[in-house]
């Protein structure tokens, strides 16, 4: 592998070197998030590194990206509901304020979240959650990764 995949998430996904990639989708890559303080957090990465905004894509590819985001959201919902009875819902976001390449965040939300955070945007979680080693993606998330990947496969087979 050449360099750190975190500095070129899309390029390493295209080369098959991004370890977070779950599946190749029509318009990009479903990837599990680097942090898992909300288990199942994933990202949809567009497959064109220079695309910064949804509006940069031609209309057909734009709709494909949104369809892939929906598919990833449904796969996460199915997997997380099966693995954790406290699963509540999925939040979908396209932001681009920090990483300028087009990507969508898919956040599962749970009943066990703190009362002051459960109804708030994920970005209001304390900074420690984002950097704490215990929430870093690792082998302990393999069951979750496999569950989301299997759900993606099932959704694609019926489409």
Q: What is the pTM of this model?
A: 0.94
State the CATH architecture for 5-158. 2-Layer Sandwich (3.30)
* Per-residue pLDDT reduced to its tens digit, 39-57: 999 999 999 999 999 999 9
Confidence of residue 159 (pLDDT cuts 50, 70, 90): low
Q: Which of 37, 101, 103, 38 is nearest to 68 (CA)?
A: 103
Reduced to 3 states (helix: H, G, I; strand: E, B; else coil), residue 89 is strand
For the chain, the structural domain boundaries read 5-158
List strand residue ranges (DSSP E) for 18-134, in order. 21-24, 28-32, 42-46, 87-93, 103-110
User: How far is it, in rounded angstroms, from Cα 71 to Cα 88?
Assistant: 18
Output the average pLDDT for the chain: 93
């Amino acid at each position: 592998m050449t360099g750190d995949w975190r500095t070129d998430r899309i390029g390493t996904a295209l080369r098959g070197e991004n370890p977070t990639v779950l599946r190749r989708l029509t318009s990009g890559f479903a990837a599990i998030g680097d942090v898992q303080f909300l288990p199942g957090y994933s990202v949809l990465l567009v497959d064109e590194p220079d695309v910064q905004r949804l509006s940069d894509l031609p209309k057909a590819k734009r709709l494909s990206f949104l369809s892939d985001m929906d598919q990833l959201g449904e796969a996460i919902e199915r997997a997380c509901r099966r693995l954790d009875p406290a699963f509540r819902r999925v939040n979908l976001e396209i932001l681009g304020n920090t990483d300028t390449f087009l990507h969508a965040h898919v956040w599962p939300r749970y009943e066990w979240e703190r009362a002051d955070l459960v109804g708030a945007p994920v970005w209001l979680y304390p900074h420690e959650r984002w950097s704490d080693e215990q929430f870093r993606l690792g082998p302990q998330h393999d069951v979750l990764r496999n569950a989301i990947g299997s759900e993606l496969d099932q959704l694609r087979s019926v489409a």
